[in-house]
Chains A and B, each alone.
Chain A
Amino acid sequence: MRMMDRRTKIWILVLVVFCALCAGAFLILRGIGGDGTVAVISVDGEELDRIDLSRVKESYDIEIDTGYGRNVVHVEPGAISVTEADCPDKICVAMGRLQGSGIPIICMPHHLIIAIEGDGIDG
């Protein structure tokens, strides 16, 4: 392999540092959420439902028709997840269960967001 020139090295350094900063930012941002227990389900920013997961005694399912498509949300004590969706990518189902702080579940094609409301962050 040829020797890398200086500019190539600089670019590699810049990108690696950028990734490291992102990793740090992620850890900080995720911490801000705190350990809230209230799950908020919204479509296009409009709140559909608000569930205090710490008060859920028995699991149940909610069916949501967002106007863009259908999702089945599974509510269980302390956690919430999307178990069914008729969107093409099914990423929301693959994201699994959301509990405590964590990154919100999104179903992009259906404009659906499920977030746990923390203390500081607007969610």
Chain B
Amino acid sequence: MGDRSLSKTRRLALMAVLTAIALGIFMLEAQLPSPVPIPGVKLGLANIITLTAMLILGRREAGVILLLRIVMGAMFAGSPSTLIFSAMGGVFAYLCMCLLTRFIPEERLWATSAVSAVAHNAGQLLASILVLRTPGLLVYAPVLAVSGVITGVFTGVAAKYLVRALRRLRL
């Protein structure tokens, strides 16, 4: 996992750049009107960066980038009251990615990404059910699951090409 030949300084610089890009994408997406008016349904384009970081840099680095993006994203674009929802989603998706990238080859990154996106939405829904104490929100589960599959496949394909392009650059 990750390319160990990168020097420490290069890794750090790449981490910083990827964090900035992830945050930028996240904030840009927050400005777009939601295509489907259902809470929790979104493209999740910033996950392209989390996946890419995991393949290029490694699990730990991807985790740090994800954490920074979630916290700063809530500070800059969202509201602190939604931090708990996105954090829970982020943790679920991250664990899923860590596990699946071991078994699923890079060629099928879209599958890893789809399952992780579903895990993200599951985590987010679980957090909402716990915080809002409304089990009835479970009605949202199937909608969020399907949306996760669709957006996940898309971000996974995008991440695959980004990883290829970055490898070709020989950073």
B interface SS class: helix
Interface size range on B against A: 20 to 34
Q: Kindly state whether residue B108 has any CB partner on chain A within 8 Å.
A: yes
Name the residue in B111, B131, B142 with the highest tally of chain A Cβ atoms < 10 Å from its Cβ: B142
The residues in A between 10 and 55 inclusive whose CB is less than 8 angstroms from any CB of B are 11, 15, 18-19, 22-23, 25-26, 29-30, 33, 42, 44-45
Closest-by-CB residue of A relative to B143 is A26
Contact A122 B153 (CB under 8 A): no
Given A108-B85, A113-B137, the answer on whether A25 and B132 have CB atoms closer than 8 Å is no
Contact B78 A95 (CB under 8 A): no
Contact B78 A123 (CB under 8 A): no
Closest-by-CB residue of A relative to B31 is A88
The residues in A between 50 and 86 inclusive whose CB is less than 8 angstroms from any CB of B are 68-69
Interchain CB contact (< 8 A) of A89 among B34, B131, B140, B153: B34
Nearest CB of chain A from residue B10's CB, rounded to whole Å: 34
Interface size range on A against B: 35 or more
Q: Kindly state whether residue B71 has any CB partner on chain A within 8 Å.
A: no
Given A15-B153, A94-B34, A113-B137, the answer on whether A106 and B128 have CB atoms closer than 8 Å is yes
| B residues in contact (CB < 8 Å) with A | 30, 33-34, 37-40, 77-79, 81-82, 85, 108, 111, 114, 128, 131-143, 145-146, 149, 153
